[in-house]
Chains A and B, each alone.
Chain A
Amino acid sequence: MKRRTWLLSALGATGALVVGWGVMPARSRLGSPELMLQTEGDVALNGWIKIAQDGAVVLAMPRSEMGQGVHTGLAMLVAEELDVPLNRVRLEQAGGDSIYGNVAMLVASLPFHPLDSEGGHKPAKIKMGEWLVGKVARELGINATGGSSSIADLWDPLRMAAATARASLVQAAAAAWKVPANEITVAQGVMQHASGQSAHYGQMVSAASGSTPSGIQTKSHEKWQLIGQAAPRTDIPSKVTGQATFGLDVRLPGMLFAAVRMSPILGGTAAAVDRKAALALPGVMKLVQLEAWGEGTAGLAVVGKTTWHARQGVQAVQVQWQPPGTGAVDTPRIQAALLNSLNTESGFTFHEQGVPTQAEKAAATRIDALYQAPYLAHATMEPMNCTAQVKDGKVEIWVPTQVPQMARDMAAKVAKVDKDKVTVHVTQLGGGFGRRLEVDFVGQAVQVAMACEGQPVQLSWSREEDMKHDFYRPMHLAKFQASLDDKGEVTSLRIKSAGDAITPRWMARAAPHLSGPIDMPDKTASEGLFDLPYGFASQHMSHVATKSGVPVGFWRSVGHSHNAFFSESFIDELAAATKQDPLAFRLNWLKDAPRYAAVLQLAAGKAGWGTPLPAGRARGIALHESFGSIVAQVAEVSLTEGQIRVHRVVCAIDCGTVVNPGTVAQQVESSVIFGLTAALFGKIDIVGGVVQQGNFNNYPMVTLSQAPQVETHIVPSTRHPAGVGEPAVPPLAPAVGNALFALTGKRQRALPLVV
């Protein structure tokens, strides 16, 4: 494909510029022992694993825990290869070396059609693309927790690091006992030999130190004892006693508190500030005028002796705001502009097969539809915050973040110090969902701390600031056009979408040196549209990337979150237009995608598709692949006095090899509720640059009484692990919308759903 070739050349050129062509294979991610924190009594064997004197294992943990269970899942990989119980693995925050960067997340940004990788042999173009981007990503070493990629990315490096550590420990024991290494067995972290010798890892680690055996194999899956078994999450006990430390729970001696008030007009600035009334309040100490860090909005911060004093203070400031020079944004205007873009621009073609124009010319019937989705806020339960101390030319920050190195870089930039003068402590995250891939609030906290003469300060946002100053999921529109021949068979599908591209904006923030004047095509804009599994002979999918002026960011499941609603609702339209059952229609077009068909059939079977339901209830079905995982959902829906009620959601998921099935079920349940909140309520409106929603009273969430019962069914698999945290979000909205169509005969083509 010409466009893909162009894309690869561009990537290659970028890669060559950044890393040079140097050594051909991507560098190992084992890392050297010096990368780990030097702690008394512990001995590091590589960049990931230390052994304590008592034989406990210390794992360098680069990924953030935000509820997705990654601190448990990644520890399981290490416990498995080292043959220790899970509770013998302790976590230590990883440093900033590039071995801890996320390679899989960047590789997943390649716009390849997932069906091309379904068979046993990947085509050369895909292998080359993955190799190239993998190599660039390995050099860049961007540490990000996102893209449902933590397990997929660290699956091989962590198991290899643990297996290598185990081999060196066993070799040390073999040398000490003068027995062959292959006669030593390990159970529960204790090495044993038939001669009666035995030792735990702590007793052999000094002897093992410095040796890095090569040619190590990780365990084959028949030998797994932990991987694949549900394990209780290690972070849960501290979360039921209130002891877990989130960003807002950091307490330091002499700590001050800061409240923030940004320009209510996105991108605006303070034109005139009268601080007298604020500074006259008790407990209020100072006012700092905040710059617009990380492409956020400028504003004010007030420092006080508690968060409450600071908030009282910041509200008392008399301030005149002025809109940005580019003018204030409005969602109705953006919507009209997107529609215009759809009608007048051709966009970037992400997928083309067959001859769509020919099929369209020969069509007996054409089906057209326009779909749309609004801006959305992340609304993590813990609002944005960061605690910072700037003292003696050094910066220390405590922050709930998905991107610790971006946070470090931001702190260094604001304080004008070298990056190695910044220490980052990653706390527990009270939700992430992509919002904490941004570091605007880190810049604010450091700026305020610089004005606090060495005292630590905790800067936090109110709910209103959090909702009105998000990096929003962008508004998207998509036009669908299908051709049917005179027998009623679908012969072509054309999809053109329009909306802001997220990745180029974020990459400019994450890796400014990689950012150029021309945006690379953003796969996230078209994902869920260009990559459909259905075998229509002719297809054409393109996207018009816009720049609407609203700060946009990654929102759980990103483009899939709205595009799956568009595509799976339209597939349902085609089933209805051709008078076929929605399940049968899909299966009919999935003959070349057996793994997709199997997931769909599993969900349908468990949900009792086709069996009678109580009066007033209907089922809807949807199928979607994202982050390497295939998910099907069947939603049971009724209408009570005009209110949509989702009673039950049956979910089937093929996410490759499963590490912790308990986490998979949790994440599916979570995704269903997250998707349902967006489907029923989610909408951010902007008028005159001001976000109209500000709290949970006008940006509501699904509550317990509205929550459906969710059932999770996992397809057994030995494929490479794929994503779990996001892939069950996208199918929810179309499954509910399709059930509403079955119930009412009215097609839902916009989010949030309205009956």
Chain B
Amino acid sequence: MQLNINGQSRTSTADPSMPLLWVLRDELNLTGTKFGCGIAACGACTVHVDGQAVRSCVMPVSAVANQAIKTIESLGTAEKPHPLQAAWIVEQVPQCGYCQSGMLMAAAALLDKNANPSDADIDAAMTNLCRCGTYQRVRAAIHRAAASMKKGGAA
């Protein structure tokens, strides 16, 4: 089947029932997306499918063929960070960092839909688990990124 990942077309021979997460990680070596629980409970595996935040550990790859899949690898780079990534650095969000790819992808999907989220919006959208407890910095960084995007500048 054809997969559209980070703007590139990739051919995959994966079993149709194989979760997208493992196609990304173990077949395509896109390891930024993480395994955390396997039951869509923690959000470490969050990617975008047609702009929606999706937990890839329970998403059969056949269900997302030909849809636009976006992973942390294309959110931004060290040289050209997404405003959320820049805000994440300013607010010094990550600790161990393992959950942060999923956290950032969930936040990016939120800002795509809601450019100025309230605390309640953030509470509702950000259900990813972080064992290091970075939550208050995640919240601050989302507000910071939203403000910077409104101004059209970097965080």
Residues of A within 8 A of B (CB): 66-69, 232-233, 235-246, 248-249, 251, 257, 282-283, 305-308, 379-383, 428-433, 460, 462-464, 662, 666, 669-674, 695-697, 701-705, 707, 709-710
Contact = CB atoms under 8 A, between A and B. Distances in A.
A349 B44 CA distance: 46
B25 A307 contact: yes
Interface in B96-155: 96-101, 104, 122-124, 126-139
25 contacts: A236-B89, A236-B93, A239-B94, A240-B81, A240-B85, A240-B93, A240-B100, A241-B73, A242-B31, A242-B33, A246-B97, A307-B26, A380-B96, A381-B131, A382-B34, A383-B36, A430-B34, A460-B35, A666-B92, A673-B130, A674-B133, A696-B37, A704-B126, A705-B127, A707-B136
B26 A306 contact: yes
Contacts of B124: 705
B37 A67 contact: no
B97 A430 contact: yes
A561 to B, nearest CB: 15
B32 A67 contact: no
Interface in B12-40: 15, 18-19, 22, 25-27, 29, 31-39
Contacts of B131: 379-381, 431, 433, 674, 701
B2 interface: no
Contacts of A710: 136
A240 B96 contact: no
Contact of B41 (A66, A241, A696): A696
A220 B138 CA distance: 37
B41 A707 contact: no
Main secondary structure of the interface of B (DSSP, over half): loop
Give the contact-size bracket for chain B: 35 or more
Nearest to A703: B127
Given A67-B97, A669-B133, 9 more contacts: A235-B94, A236-B88, A241-B32, A428-B96, A428-B97, A666-B137, A695-B37, A703-B127, A705-B124
A460 B35 CA distance: 10
**From B93, B123, B128, B136, residue with most partner A Cβ within 10 Å:** B136
Contact of A241 (B15, B78, B126, B129): B78
A233 B136 CA distance: 18
B39 A703 contact: no
B37 A430 contact: no
A673 B133 contact: yes
Contacts of B135: 673, 702-704, 707
Identify whether the interface residues of A are mostly helix, strand, loop, or mixed: loop
A270 B128 CA distance: 36
B53 interface: no
B26 A430 contact: no
A107 B85 CA distance: 41
Given A431-B132, A695-B39, A381 B32 contact: no
B131 to A, nearest CB: 5
Given A697-B41, A707-B135, A241 B76 contact: yes
Contacts of B77: 241
B26 A308 contact: yes
B75 interface: yes
Given A242-B31, A703-B129, A669 B97 contact: no
Contacts of B99: 381
Q: Which of B126, B132, B137 is most buried by chain A, counting CB atoms within 10 A of its CB?
A: B132
Given A306-B22, A381-B36, A709 B97 contact: no
Nearest to A671: B133
Given A232-B89, A673-B133, A674-B131, A67 B35 contact: no
Contact of A308 (B18, B29, B44, B130): B18
B72 interface: yes
A480 to B, nearest CB: 30
Of the listed residues A236, A308, A431, A666, the one surrounded by the most CB atoms of chain B closer than 10 A to its CB is A308
B26 A68 contact: no
A381 B130 contact: yes
Nearest to B36: A381
A239 B99 CA distance: 9
A307 B18 CA distance: 10
A308 B127 contact: no
A282 B135 CA distance: 41
A713 B124 CA distance: 30
B95 A248 contact: no
B148 to A, nearest CB: 15
B42 interface: yes
The 6 closest A-B pairs by CB, nearest first: A242-B32, A673-B133, A67-B95, A239-B97, A430-B98, A67-B96
Most buried by A among B22, B85, B97, B138: B97
Contacts of B22: 306-308
B81 to A, nearest CB: 7
A240 B88 contact: yes
B32 to A, nearest CB: 2
A430 B131 CA distance: 9
B100 A239 contact: yes
Contacts of B134: 666, 669-670
Contacts of A68: 95
Contact of B29 (A251, A462, A705): A251
Given A307-B25, A674-B131, A705-B124, A242 B72 contact: yes
B25 A242 contact: no
Nearest to A675: B133
A248 B97 contact: no
A431 B136 contact: no
Contacts of B18: 306, 308
A666 B138 CA distance: 12
A463 B95 contact: no
A382 B133 contact: no
B35 A307 contact: yes
A673 B89 CA distance: 21
B38 A235 contact: no
A697 B96 contact: no
A670 B95 contact: yes
Nearest to A304: B26
